Amino acid sequence: MAGLQLLSEYGLRVDGRRPNELRQIRCKMGVFSQPDGSAYLEQGNTKVLAAVYGPHEVRLNRSKTHHDRAYINCQFSMAVFSTSERKRRPRGDRKSQEMDMNLNQIFESAIRTELYPRSRIDIYLEVLQADGSNFSACVNAATLALIDAGIPLKDYVCSCTSTLAPSQGGAPPTPMVDVNHVEETLGGPGLSMSTLPRLDSVVHLELSGTRLHLSHIDPVAEKAATGAADIMAVLDKAVRGHVAQCLHAREVSGQGADA
Amino acid sequence: MADILLSEAEKTFILHGVRDNVRNDGRSCSEFRPIELELGLVENANGSARVRLANTDVLVAVKCEIDNPPSNFPDEGKLDFFVDCSANATPQFEGKGGEQLAVELAALMSRAYQTRESFNLSTLSIIKGMKCWKLCIDVLILECGGSLIDAISMGTKAALADTKIPKVSVIGSDEGTLELELADEADGREEPLDWHHAPCLVTLNKLEDSLLVDASAEEEACCAAALIVGVSPNKKITTTSIPGHGSFLADSKIFARALNLAVDVGVKLNTALEAAIKKHQTLKPPPRGFLD
Amino acid sequence: MPVDHRRIQGPECSEDYRKPKTLDAALLKKGSRRADGRKCGEQRKIFLKPGVVSQAKGSAYIELDHTKVICSVFDPREKASRNLEQQTVRGEIFCEFKFASFSGVQRRSHQQEADDKEYSLLLKNALEPAVCLHEFPNFQVDVQVLVLQDDGSSLAAAITCAGLALADAAVPMYDLPVGLSKAFSGDTEFFDPTGAEERMCLRGVDGESDHGVFTIGFLPTFNQVSQLFHSGHISSDRFGKMISEVGTLAAEVHKAVQAILLSAVKSSIDSSDNSKLLL
């Protein structure tokens, strides 16, 4: 797309944000009644649904039971209509399988699996609309769904994707946080980072797209980490609001007397 | 669909209630549960709708593609159904678990829309024999709580009502290949489809002598046989099918009763759906999606 | 989709130069004979033979004029189901329905297409009520149906054929399922329609409002309808009429199937007697 610049001369991005601004995040927990925990998250125009089933008995493959911890199973799926060009297969292709593995890895480090030996926790993600940072939005939604299911976590798992706008007119290249679809496809690097913000640890780091020079890695990674910390503030507020609402509903229905 | 385990006592309870025309949640045998409908949720699609029928949640999106018309009907377009059972609904749908159900539902829907009276495919033709519109109707099942096909058929009809096809004009033909130009969004891409005759499918579950409309998952587990009937707004039946392992006595009275009930309920459902769609299209409320 | 290595693939977009035959709308006049000389309520001549496939436990071959269907039934084997938790007390029938690539005017794929999968499910729904599934818990019986030539009513023929094959395989059953099909357009009805009649009634003729094709799976002894598959645009009173006639319509086919099964059993008893004499 000749002429379309990631960062205009006024320092505005394609959708009018500043380089360190996140998109608007809206979320809701407890969307469905059948799964043990569910959540819906919108990061700008990226919309993701997460459902958690568990902890429950391992049914299919007894060989996958761990005697000392829970077995985590994630599935990443994109709806056929989520992208502007219709997708043929919602899941099962190589890219989705890779995402499944990454999600498994992230949540195995974040969930207190030692509390549920010999059991299994299923996390299912469905992307309803893909507008960049799909993976990050999925991780955030899954965190909320896990909290809704009451599964103990070491900390919130927050994820953010950042990129580097090429240098313009002599200015150094600017790292930008929370990429959207246009910025992803324009061909810059995309650094996806999932962290446990309060424990200050990184559970997953992935660089895709073009190369990133060593000297640029630090600023971009820092931007992603800050972005994740900001997202944590939003998620925390949502969780507290949801719990307050549930408590209020219980009180109103007269169940507050239960100890 | 998720397996429900019921004890004999629970089954007997449901049966006794149904004999007196009262179901577990207080409905009569021919009442639907409250239905919520929302249009225009998916921005990437030409039309979309979400239907919530108690525990059942279905999202239907329609996308338009330009394709070559079928060789034996050169002046018609194409309609393609795809059903995706998301694992969100039940862990059994993980991977390829939900494929059989998806195939069954997609086949039922394409049969219901097969005839010209349900959906006139000639309205989808762009240039006879060369180019036509192909409507890809994608159904995403988010939650299963009984009456899946009913919800899907309502969602499809609503999504078709919400669909706007861009106006197409031919600009020049270059050595046999045609150049098509799509109208811009600003230039009014309003070309709504003729969706008014689309059918709604009604599932009737047979429990002893009674017929239940919109059975919940518990009631479905008690019933011996089911009959799916596709009813169009002019009281005609577009498709029937007996799913599962049940069978019906070949008594014309039983079938007459079942079909009359199905047609009654189907026509009422069609009318209510049309009214809701019209209301939505006039009021144009901001999309709430899952955030309510 | 796995590549087919047995064929040299032609160009990707190629089509048969012939179009499927269409019917003359004048044939719709009531009282007139059909294209093949039958009356409207007449069934085509049936040829049925059990035990045609030696490797299968049971098999049957049916010919309804130009519609030819062959069915094989295999020994019960352990369920290939993924859900180990579903250790139920019922067995399962696994049906696979396939139109052979050369069965119609247009060449079909060597793998199951959408309508093959749909017919597999419909066939399964039609056969299940007839089979005593509790006799083989946790096992599944494979029913493979191949349509060698399709000239209308292939699903109905498949139901009858599969019923006979299951009986030939000694699978415990409550009844012999029989398949029937009927096409109609306006007031004219065609029992056991040919391919051209089916296509015409599915499309509908301009000016006629009601049209469609029925396929019914019927269990004659118990008078039960196991499958009622219909596509078209009709009013509900047609159904009542169809259901009340189905018993009489099925009687002829049912008698034929019973007679053939009986003679097959008799001949196998005779041959086993003869073999005892030889010893």
Residue C181: CATH number of its domain: 3.30.230.70
Domain residues of chain A, as ranges?
25-252
Tell whether C224 is covered by a domain.
yes
Distance CA C92, CA C136 (A): 8
DSSP B199-221: -EEEEEEEETTEEEES--HHHHH
> Which residues in chain C have Cβ-Cβ distances shorter than 8 Å to B251?
223, 243
Q: How confident is the model at residue B178 (pLDDT cuts 50, 70, 90)?
A: low
Strand-pair partners of B177? B174
Please report all neighbours of C, defined by 3+ CB atom pairs within 8 A: A, B
Question: Closest Cα of chain C to B68: distance in Å?
Answer: 11
The pLDDT of residue A2 is 38
Q: Percentage of chain B surpassing pLDDT 70?
A: 92
Distance CA B89, CA A32 (A): 9
Tell whether C68 is covered by a domain.
yes
The pLDDT tens digits for B78-137 are 899 999 998 888 888 887 778 888 988 999 998 888 888 888 888 888 888 888 889 999
Tell whether C13 is covered by a domain.
no
The SS3 of residue B36 is strand
Q: Are C180 and C135 in contact (CB under 8 A)?
A: no
Nearest C-alpha in B relative to C236: B259
Tell whether C153 is covered by a domain.
yes
Q: Which is higher by pLDDT, B18 or C86?
A: B18
The pLDDT of residue A259 is 44
The pLDDT tens digits for A197-243 are 999 999 999 998 888 888 888 989 988 999 999 999 999 999 999 99
Distance CA B17, CA B29 (A): 10
Judging by DSSP bridges, how do beta strands A158-165 and A190-196 pair with one another? antiparallel
Mean pLDDT across B205-216: 86
Asked if A59 and C83 come within 8 Å (Cβ–Cβ), the reply is: yes
Q: What is the dihedral of CA B231, B234, B237, B243, to 10 degrees?
A: 0
The pLDDT of residue B193 is 77
The pLDDT of residue A60 is 67
**Residue B234 clears pLDDT 90, i.e. is over it:** no
Strand-pair partners of A201? A196
Find the range with the poorest average confidence among A39-53, A60-74, C79-93: C79-93
The pLDDT of residue C279 is 45
**Distance set, CA B185 to CA A84, B158, B167, B190 (Å):** 15, 22, 10, 9
Token digits of residue C66: 């130009």
The pLDDT of residue A140 is 95
Whether ipTM tops 0.95, in short, is: no
Asked if B103 and C236 come within 8 Å (Cβ–Cβ), the reply is: no
Q: Which of B111, B108, B110, B87 is nearest to B99 (CA)?
A: B87
Mean pLDDT across A245-256: 82
Tell whether C125 is covered by a domain.
yes
List CB contacts of B70: < 8 A, sequence separation 6 or more: B76, B78
Amino acid found at B169? S
**Residue A92 clears pLDDT 70, i.e. is over it:** yes
The SS3 of residue C205 is coil
Distance CA A23, CA A32 (A): 25
Taking the Cβ of residue B203 and every Cβ of chain C, the question of whether any pair is shorter than 8 Å is answered with no
C156: domain range? 32-78+91-278
Average pLDDT, chain B: 84
Mean pLDDT across B63-72: 85
Question: Is residue B229 packed enough to be buried (19+ CB in 10 Å), middle (13-18) or exposed (0-12)?
Answer: buried
Which CATH architecture is the domain A25-252 placed in?
2-Layer Sandwich (3.30)
Distance CA C38, CA B116 (A): 29
The pLDDT tens digits for B259-290 are 889 999 999 999 999 999 888 888 877 777 77
Which residues 28-67 of B are in CB contact (within 8 Å) with C? none
Q: What is the dihedral of CA B280, B285, B287, B290, to 10 degrees?
A: -80
φ/ψ of residue C186, rounded to 5:
65, -125
The pLDDT of residue A247 is 92
List CB contacts of C61: < 8 A, sequence separation 6 or more: C47, C48, C49, C52, C68, C69, C70, C71, C161
The pLDDT of residue A159 is 94
Q: Which domains, from first to last, does chain B contain?
A: 17-283 (3.30.230.70)
Intervals of chain C under pLDDT 70: 1-4, 10, 20-32, 80-87, 206-208, 275-279
State the total domains in chain C: 1
Q: From the list B2, B48, B87, which residue is nearest A75 (CB)?
A: B87
Amino acid found at A84? S
The pLDDT tens digits for C181-211 are 988 888 788 888 888 888 888 877 766 678 8
**Residue B189 clears pLDDT 70, i.e. is over it:** no
Tell whether C144 is covered by a domain.
yes
Q: Are A25 and A43 in contact (CB under 8 A)?
A: yes
Taking the Cβ of residue C204 and every Cβ of chain B, the question of whether any pair is shorter than 8 Å is answered with yes
Question: Is residue B255 packed enough to be buried (19+ CB in 10 Å), middle (13-18) or exposed (0-12)?
Answer: buried
DSSP tag of A88? S
